[in-house]
């Protein structure tokens, strides 16, 4: 299973008042909050943690078929930072997810996979400006084919389908601000 999240940092700065009283308490554990406040760039750090939680949540949602909002149940831990790349883990109940985030001045993009079933290098991921591409246009460019399309099941969970095939390939799509991102297991 795979999940991904993208955050348009300019839009997040415009829309979020994360310094208001109680905001962080609803989303982050005490340890995560301490990590945010002690960071060189607290705002960017906050969005990195949010992105890895959201990418992992998409895997949990796919497994359970149920939507929920309880970000504090997804406990994040950053493991390694190398320039604009951050490796992390997210823990949810008995599950552990590995995350890989790329950070630019414009966005934070994270891909999450299940620790026991996949490796981060089994993903194809693409980022584009929404204004220049719809989701299916992005899929056509990534796979260099128009035979793939995204559809959602009854729980609104996205899958990739191929023309003349009954195969349902898990896919994770994320939109925020000017950006769209796509992550697909390396099966395709």
pLDDT tens for residues 166-188?
888 888 888 888 888 888 876 43
Domain count, the chain: 1
Domain containing 165: what range?
Answer: 2-185
In 3-state terms the chain splits into helix, strand, coil percentages (rounded to 5) of: 30, 40, 30
CA-CA distance, 115 to 117, in Å (whole number)? Answer: 6
Query: In 22-53, which positions are buried (b, 16+ CB within 10 angstroms) versus exposed (e)?
Result: eebeebbbeebbebbeeeeebebbbbbbbbbb
CATH of the domain at 84: 3.90.470.20
What's CA 63's distance to the chain center, in Å? Answer: 16
2-27 per-position pLDDT tens digit: 899 999 999 999 999 999 999 999 99
Residues above pLDDT 90, as percent of the chain: 54
């Amino acid at each position: 299973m795979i999940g991904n999240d993208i955050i348009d940092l300019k839009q997040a700065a415009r829309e979020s008042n994360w310094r208001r009283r109680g905001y962080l308490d609803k989303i982050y554990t005490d340890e995560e909050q301490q990590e945010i406040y002690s960071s060189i760039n607290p705002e960017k750090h906050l969005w990195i943690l949010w992105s890895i939680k959201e990418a992992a949540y998409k895997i949990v949602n796919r497994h359970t078929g149920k939507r929920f909002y309880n970000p504090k149940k997804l406990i994040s831990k950053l493991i390694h930072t190398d320039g604009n790349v951050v490796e992390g883990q997210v823990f949810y109940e008995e599950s552990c997810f590995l995350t890989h985030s790329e950070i630019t001045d414009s966005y934070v993009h994270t891909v999450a996979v299940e620790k026991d079933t996949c490796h981060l290098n089994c993903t194809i991921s693409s980022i584009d400006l929404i204004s220049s591409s719809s989701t299916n246009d992005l899929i056509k460019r990534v796979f260099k084919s128009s035979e793939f399309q995204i559809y959602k099941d009854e729980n609104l969970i996205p899958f990739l389908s191929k023309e003349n095939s009954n195969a349902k390939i898990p896919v994770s799509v994320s939109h925020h601000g000017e950006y769209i991102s796509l992550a697909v297991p390396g099966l395709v």
